[in-house]
Amino acid sequence: DVKVTQSSRYLVKRTGEKVFLECVQDMDHENMFWYRQDPGLGLRLIYFSYDVKMKEKGDIPEGYSVSREKKERFSLILESASTNQTSMYLCASSLLTPGNEKLFFGSGTQLSVL
């Protein structure tokens, strides 16, 4: 079974802190994604990557950056956390093709910015 592991289940940070959310997958998937999930808004794509060192902006990239130095690891960075970035963050991975529509998600990181 594919396993997508997010390093923290819960995080509490202060406004202005730099925050790293880490995600690792063990199935050699090319694609990796970061979503945020907010009540009433569903899942919104922040960034995705289809190869090492490659990244593309999703629908809401402002205030975030990402890093993909190794195929299995995709990091989401909040350079200066703000209260409106309090959310559930979900990492996902998929094959490049075929089957790239079948996302495998981690269990999520609930981030609170105070």
Per CB under 8 A, residues contacting another protein are 4, 31, 33, 35, 40-45, 48, 50, 56, 58-59, 90, 92, 94, 97, 100-108
Whose Cβ is closer to another protein: residue 48's or residue 74's? 48
Cα distances (angstroms) measured from residue 112 to each of 10, 25, 97: 8, 24, 35
Whose Cβ is closer to another protein: residue 45's or residue 77's? 45
Least distance (Å) from another protein to the CB of residue 15?
27
Q: Break the chain down into helix, strand, coil percent, rounded to 5.
A: 5, 50, 45
Least distance (Å) from another protein to the CB of residue 49?
9
Least distance (Å) from another protein to the CB of residue 32?
10
Q: What is the 3-state secondary structure (H, E, C) of 38-55?
A: ECCCEEEEEEEECCCCCC
Whose Cβ is closer to another protein: residue 58's or residue 63's? 58
H helices present in the chain, as ranges:
none
Least distance (Å) from another protein to the CB of residue 5?
11
- The phi, psi pair for 35, rounded to 5°, reads -120, 155
Whose Cβ is closer to another protein: residue 82's or residue 100's? 100
Closest by CA to 23, choosing from 43, 1, 2, 44, is: 2
